[in-house]
């Protein structure tokens, strides 16, 4: 069995562990994490305690370890950008009818993370018939391609030159050699 990656980290109190779990679970809101962890006080006190916990070296060590464990490395970033660049709306459409969304198919294919926005509208017409409209917006393929091209050095935003250069400076008609 592998070693526990948190074994070498400083010990935390139960309340600090509760705060850390809440902080990681709520997307990094220190004030709400202090409230959820059971710290006493009001919004000002929770804000203060949250700021203290963020700055606490022991808690910070646990937070950094947790974030490092879940951080996205270069290969995953490239893979995800490539998925967006290769996204195909056909993966979301029913095979029998190219105008009908098939979200179950999209889930099976694993392409739902490519969806930027999913909306559903329902309304009744004057005859009382229910109409349902579902819209899917995918992440921007062109932006993903630009990002990948930039990452792979296909665009030249800045040119760096290196090497030796002989330079002669002339001031007032006299050379410096």
- Cα gap 124→8, rounded to integer Å: 62
| DSSP reduced 3-state for 170 | strand
Name the pLDDT band for 83 (thresholds 50, 70, 90). very high
Residue 60 dihedral angles phi and psi, to the nearest 5°: -60, -40
Name the pLDDT band for 168 (thresholds 50, 70, 90). confident
Instruction: Count CA within 13 A, CB hemisphere, residue 16.
Output: 17
Name the pLDDT band for 85 (thresholds 50, 70, 90). very high
Q: Which CATH class is domain 14-70?
A: mainly alpha
> Under the phi-then-psi rule, with left for phi > 0, alpha for psi from -120 to 50, and beta for the rest, what region is 173?
left
Residue 39: predicted pLDDT:
93
Q: Encoding tokens for residue 35?
A: 């409230």
Residues 94 and 78 sit within 8 Å (Cβ to Cβ): no
Model-level pTM?
A: 0.54
Task: Please state the domain extents for the chain.
Answer: 14-70, 75-151
Name the pLDDT band for 130 (thresholds 50, 70, 90). very high
């Amino acid at each position: 069995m592998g070693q526990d990656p948190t074994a070498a980290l400083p010990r935390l109190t139960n309340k600090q562990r509760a705060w850390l779990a809440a902080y990681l679970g709520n997307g990094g809101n220190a004030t709400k994490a202090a409230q959820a962890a059971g710290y006493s006080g009001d919004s000002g006190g929770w804000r203060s305690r949250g700021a203290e916990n963020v700055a606490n070296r022991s808690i910070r060590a646990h937070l950094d370890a947790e974030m490092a464990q879940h951080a996205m490395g270069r290969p995953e970033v490239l893979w995800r950008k490539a998925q967006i660049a290769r996204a195909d709306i056909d993966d979301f459409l029913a095979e029998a009818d190219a105008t009908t969304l098939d979200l179950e198919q999209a889930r099976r294919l694993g392409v739902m993370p490519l969806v930027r926005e999913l909306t559903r509208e329902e309304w009744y017409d004057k005859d009382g018939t229910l109409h349902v409209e579902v819209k899917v917006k995918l992440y921007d393929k062109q932006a993903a391609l630009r990002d990948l091209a930039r990452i792979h050095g296909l665009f030249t935003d800045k040119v760096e030159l290196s090497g030796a250069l002989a330079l002669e400076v002339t001031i007032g008609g006299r050379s410096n050699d």
